[in-house]
Amino acid sequence: MALSITDRCIDCWACMTVCPNAAIAHVEGLFVIDPQRCTECLGDYAAPQCASICPAEGAIENEWGEALNPPGSLTPAIAGAKES
């Protein structure tokens, strides 16, 4: 089991600063999670640290492709605006 970073990543580096397993690397302008090292923070923290600090909705997924921060979960709703 491991998390992964999608193309919704905004390249802000936050995840790398909080990963307890040094599982995240910056490779050619993209952040990638090493599936061998990622533990989803089980045993260390109550919630995966990368997903707890990531500011971009949909940028971090679990192994089933589900977003840990789904659309609308990180930003306040705007009246009358449509989800993009």
Partner 1 sequence: MSAQILPFASPASACGSSHGECHDPRVADHPCYSKDAHHKYARLHLPVAPACNIQCNYCNRKYDCSNESRPGVVSEVLSPEEAARKVLAVADAIPQLSVVGIAGPGDAFANWPRTSATLRAVKKMLPALKLCLSSNGLNVAPHVGELAELGVDHVTLTINTLEPEIAARIYPWVFWEHKRWRGLEAAEILIREQWRAAAALTAAGVLVKINSVYIPGLNDDELPKISAKAAGMGVAIHNIMPLISDPAHGTHFGLSGQRAPSEEEIESVRARCAAHLPQMGHCHQCRADAVGMLGEDRGAEFAREHLDSLTLDAQAIAARHAAVQASLKAGGGQSWKIAVASADGQRIDQHFGHAEAFRIYESDGQSVKLVALRRTAAYCQGPSDCGDDDAALPKLVQSLADCAAILAVRIGHAPWKKLEQAGIQPVVEHAFASIEASVLAVAQKLLEQVQEAHTKRA
Cα separation of the two ends of the chain: 30
User: Nearer Cβ to partner 1, position 1 or 81?
Assistant: 81
Q: Which of residues 41-80 bind partner 1 (CB under 8 A)?
A: 45-47, 49, 52-53, 55-56, 74-76, 78-79
**Shortest separation between residue 62's beta carbon and partner 1, angstroms:** 16
Nearest to 55 by CA among 17, 11, 20: 11
CA distance 50 to 61: 11
Residue 16 near partner 1 by CB under 8 A: yes
Using CB under 8 A as the binding rule, whether residue 25 contacts partner 1 is answered as no
Distance (Å, whole) CA 70 – CA 60: 9
Considering only residues 6, 10, 34, 72, which one is a binding residue for partner 1 as defined by CB under 8 A? Answer: 10
